[in-house]
Chains A and B, each alone.
Chain A
Amino acid sequence: AQSVTQPDIHITVSEGASLELRCNYSYGATPYLFWYVQSPGQGLQLLLKYFSGDTLVQGIKGFEAEFKRSQSSFNLRKPSVHWSDAAEYFCAVTGGYQKVTFGTGTKLQVIP
């Protein structure tokens, strides 16, 4: 069965600092990976996705993620965090089925 682990429940970074959110997945074949962001009381917005090809994918709002098959990881990065990036971030995987499996999420706090 597919699964996603986000080891960091809560991360605090200073505005302007770099950010990396960790995501590890488990799936037997080629995964299809996503990062979603959720602001408080809001829905899920797709940041970026990896389906195939270049393992470094660019998303919206200056985010990028790198797929590393050898490490079963799909970490999300941003070189300089803005206060508006404070939200909860979910990594998700689907393996060719209709069901998307989400991680437990990482809450990002940005301090001045």
Chain B
Amino acid sequence: EPEVTQTPSHQVTQMGQEVILRCVPISNHLYFYWYRQILGQKVEFLVSFYNNEISEKSEIFDDQFSVERPDGSNFTLKIRSTKLEDSAMYFCASSVKGFSGNTIYFGEGSWLTVV
């Protein structure tokens, strides 16, 4: 079964450093997402992306965050200057369509630890 893949699985970074998390969505999917889960808390929506632009973002997704689809297969999340509170599991997800009735498939996640 096709799956969403994410790299790295775990990254430790110093506060203030830039981090790029990478994702390869399922090949025929058109909508891409990033969610995050702070340890012990619920999964939270960050941003959705379609047709090479952000279609929706949450209040968490501030100017420190950016997303990009640099080529036909990758979808990246960049955190420009990491803070301690950015430590979380970041999930990439994709779906065929963005509107109701379509399943969103999640990757295994990337653990980000900011020290």
A residues lining the B interface (CB < 8 Å): 32, 34, 36, 41-46, 49, 51-52, 90, 92, 94-105
Contacts and interface: CB of A to CB of B under 8 A. Distances in A.
B101 A51 contact: yes
Interface of B: 31, 33, 35, 41-45, 48, 50, 55-56, 58, 91, 95, 98-101, 103-109, 111
A43 B100 contact: no
B56 A99 contact: yes
Contacts of A90: 42-43
- Chain A, interface SS category: loop
Contacts of A100: 35, 45, 104
Contacts of A97: 56, 98-100
Contacts of B100: 32, 51, 94-97
B36 to A, nearest CB: 11
25 contacts: A32-B101, A34-B103, A42-B109, A43-B107, A43-B109, A44-B43, A44-B106, A51-B101, A52-B101, A90-B42, A95-B100, A98-B31, A98-B33, A98-B48, A98-B50, A98-B55, A98-B56, A98-B95, A98-B98, A99-B48, A100-B35, A100-B104, A102-B42, A104-B41, A104-B42
